[in-house]
Amino acid sequence: MASYVLDTHACVYSLSAPRKLGPKARNALLSVEAGGSEAWIPAAVAAEVVLLRELGRINIGLSHVKTAMEAAPGLRFLPMDLRQLDEFAALGTIRDPFDRLIVSASRAVGARLITKDDSLQELGLVQTVWS
């Protein structure tokens, strides 16, 4: 079974503007919805969604994320743990703390990262999915 971690763009787009997802990202998430794959929403992504909502930059919030997880059994919440923090400590070259936490989550669970972020794709620290 394929396993993915969603970054914040992927999470927000999947809930509010699915047409903005890259084709491979869309296919991966369709597989998750159908139960053929699993996807993790890291705690850092959930926290960033809350912050972006508070700043008025997005119209969805934590309740939308929770509803999506209830509707798709393959979509799961990934609490932060020491494995992720070990990865976080090793990834000091990633300056954005949310990006660093999200890549750490992906590495800790051994899943491909669904991300639009070119800089994360180019780092080569995790396999990525988007276009």
Identify the CATH homologous superfamily for domain 2-124.
5'-nuclease (3.40.50.1010)
Domain residue extents for the chain: 2-124
Q: What is the pLDDT of residue 5?
A: 98
* Overall average pLDDT of the 99-128 stretch: 97
For residue 88, give the nearest of 96, 32, 130 by alpha carbon. 96
Supply the pTM of this predicted model: 0.96
Task: Using alpha carbons, list the distances in angstroms from residue 123 to 99, 103, 113, 128.
Answer: 12, 10, 12, 10
Q: Which whole number is the average pLDDT over 94-102?
A: 97
| 8 Å CB contact between 51 and 116 | no
pLDDT at 30: 95
Q: What values do phi and psi take at 42, rounded to 5?
A: -65, 155
Residue 79 corresponds to which tokens in the numbers above? 């609490």
Reading the block at residue 25, the tokens are 């990202």
| Contact call for residues 16 and 51 (beta carbons, < 8 A) | no
- Read off the pLDDT band of 61 (50, 70, 90): very high
What is the DSSP secondary-structure string of 88-104?
HHH-TT--SHHHHHHHH
What gap in Å lies between CA 12 and CA 102, rounded to an integer? 14
What mean pLDDT comes out for the span 25-46?
A: 97
What is the band of 11 on the pLDDT scale with cuts at 50, 70, 90?
very high
Q: What is the mean pLDDT of the chain?
A: 97
